[in-house]
Amino acid sequence: MADVRVGTFLTLPGAAAAELLAEPFDVVLIDLEHAALSRRDAQEMTIGAQAAGAQVLVRVPAAARDLITVMLDAGVDGIVLADVADPAVAATAVSWLRHAPDGVRGWGPRRASSRGRRDRATLAQPALWVQIERRGGVAAAEQLAAVDGVEALVVGTADLSFSLGAPLDSGTAEMREAVDQVRRACQAAGVAFGVAGALDTAPRELLADASILLHATDARLAAAAVDAAAARLRELVGAKLSSDLTPNDIK
């Protein structure tokens, strides 16, 4: 299990918050698909999360070339394309991540290159992950995994469950079959296999052989922790707050 990367999605702005929330994880995904975040927010969150030692990728709509370009120059470690079902879309995105002659990415001496203070040859190639979120993506998993430059396929179990006709139910036979199809495609192509969603309630067989596990979001994790703390305090007050209460009682 040492090679498994665990992480979450970041949706709350601020470098300090990103640093705090990213520190326990190996990888975090800044969500520019659903979260109300600006490009400036994403750059600050990248700086904070990287300071905590986490790998930082941003999730973007698959056709958002301008957003991908800006985030690469802002220094993210990679891009996650949301909801991909067409291998041509993935192949095009690969070209956006690479400079000529291997791609069409323009050269910008921004944060990614320490504002021109680093030699281009020393710069790491950004990662490209593809997220599968519907039936079409599952059907195309083998072709997606075979695209040169795609490093991982990640199953988004929430949206996929809607596509499979069982909203937010990750325990159906259809979900198991779909995830297994993606898993086999990754194994055959030698790319990483990942699962994203509410993984604390997902059947264990869905996570088998995954090398990327992305659980929930920072907001959901924070809400759960705060709710649990508040409930525990109310429980103690409801029972009694007496002189024999010790600090261990409120942990």
Strands (E), 13-54: 27-31
pTM for this model (two decimals): 0.90
With respect to residue 173, please indicate whether it lies within any of the assigned structural domains: yes
Domain extent at residue 71: 5-218
With respect to residue 251, please indicate whether it lies within any of the assigned structural domains: no
Render pLDDT for 129-159 as a digit per residue (tens, 0 to 9).
Answer: 999 999 999 999 999 999 999 999 999 999 9
Bin 202: left if φ > 0, else alpha if -120 < ψ < 50, else beta: beta
**Catalytic site positions:** 34
With respect to residue 246, please indicate whether it lies within any of the assigned structural domains: no
pLDDT at 119: 62
Render pLDDT for 218-237 as a digit per residue (tens, 0 to 9).
Answer: 999 999 999 999 999 988 88
CATH classification at residue 79? 3.20.20.60
With respect to residue 56, please indicate whether it lies within any of the assigned structural domains: yes
How many CB atoms are closer than 10 A to CB 213?
A: 21
With respect to residue 13, please indicate whether it lies within any of the assigned structural domains: yes
Query: What is the number of domains present in the chain?
Result: 1
Tell me, what amino acid is at 24? P
With respect to residue 243, please indicate whether it lies within any of the assigned structural domains: no
* N residues, the chain: 251
With respect to residue 169, please indicate whether it lies within any of the assigned structural domains: yes
Render pLDDT for 45-74 as a digit per residue (tens, 0 to 9).
Answer: 999 999 999 999 999 999 999 999 999 999
Q: Which two tokens stand for residue 25?
A: 């994880």
Residue 156: strand pairing partners? 196
Q: Which two tokens stand for residue 115?
A: 């504002």
With respect to residue 245, please indicate whether it lies within any of the assigned structural domains: no
